[in-house]
């Protein structure tokens, strides 16, 4: 009796192990459950395909960008610029609520021509090499603030263009001109002299 009690649980577990998949396979599933299962499978498959496509697009863009940067160096030289550095970084510190926040930026090239230094940003594609593309415009504006250079260049590799980007600077408020102060002082002096010579 003791042996039977010891063996029975083991045999029962083995029986369940081999019989449960077959038992579940024989259970009829309602149409709603089948529809939900099919929808789940399609959803998982769709997410996989979407991730795969995004990965391929990102890889293709990265390869095109790398080829563009290599061609940009030659294009800059053709336009008379001397390449001094590539993939240079800088750190600047904007303030938020009085607190300094370190921001690290990376530019494609540091070039020089006619005694001036420029940061060159390489763009490829149809939209990116244009100031009408907001991310490009904001990026170049930030470069003009962060890098201590004389200007910023936008390199359109596919069009073969190297163009300097100039952002308007708001003039600081100026004080009263010196000549106006002098004129006012002269008028006051003349009026004082005339008033002193008049008879009482």
pLDDT of residue 80: 95
pTM for this one?
0.54
Pairing of strands 151-156, 103-113: unpaired
**Total structural domains in the chain?**
1
In a domain, 194, yes or no: no
H or E stretch including 143?
A: helix 134-146
Domain span including residue 75:
59-165
Q: Which sign does the torsion angle of CA 193, 197, 199, 200 carry?
A: positive
Q: What is the pLDDT of residue 64?
A: 57
CATH of the domain at 77: 3.90.320.10
Whether residue 6 lies inside any domain: the answer is no
The verdict on residue 29 lying in a domain is: no
Taking Cα atoms as reference points, which of 129, 146, 145, 81 lies closest to residue 109? 81
Decide if 135 is inside a domain. yes
In whole angstroms, give the CA distance from residue 129 to residue 159: 9
Bridge partners (DSSP) of residue 41 are: none
Give the chain's residues under pLDDT 70: 1-30, 32-34, 52-53, 55-69, 170-181, 190, 192-200
């Amino acid at each position: 009796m003791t042996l039977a009690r010891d063996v029975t649980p083991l045999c029962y577990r083995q029986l369940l192990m081999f019989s449960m998949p077959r038992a579940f396979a024989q259970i009829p599933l309602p149409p709603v459950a089948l529809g939900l299962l099919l929808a789940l499978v399609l959803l998982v498959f769709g997410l996989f395909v979407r991730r795969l496509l995004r990965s391929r697009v990102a890889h293709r863009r990265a390869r095109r960008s790398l080829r563009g940067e290599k061609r940009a160096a030659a294009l800059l030289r053709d336009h008379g610029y001397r390449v001094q550095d590539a993939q240079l970084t800088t750190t600047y510190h904007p303030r938020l609520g009085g607190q300094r926040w370190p921001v690290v930026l990376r530019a494609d090239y540091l070039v020089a021509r006619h005694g001036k230094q420029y940061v060159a940003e390489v763009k490829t594609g149809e939209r990116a090499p244009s100031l009408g593309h907001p991310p490009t415009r904001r990026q170049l504006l930030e470069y003009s603030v962060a890098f201590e250079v004389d200007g910023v260049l936008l390199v359109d590799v596919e069009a073969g263009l190297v163009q300097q980007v100039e952002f308007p600077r708001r003039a600081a408020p100026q004080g009263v001109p010196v000549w106006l102060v002098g004129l006012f002082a002269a008028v006051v002096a003349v009026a004082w002299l005339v008033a002193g010579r008049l008879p009482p």
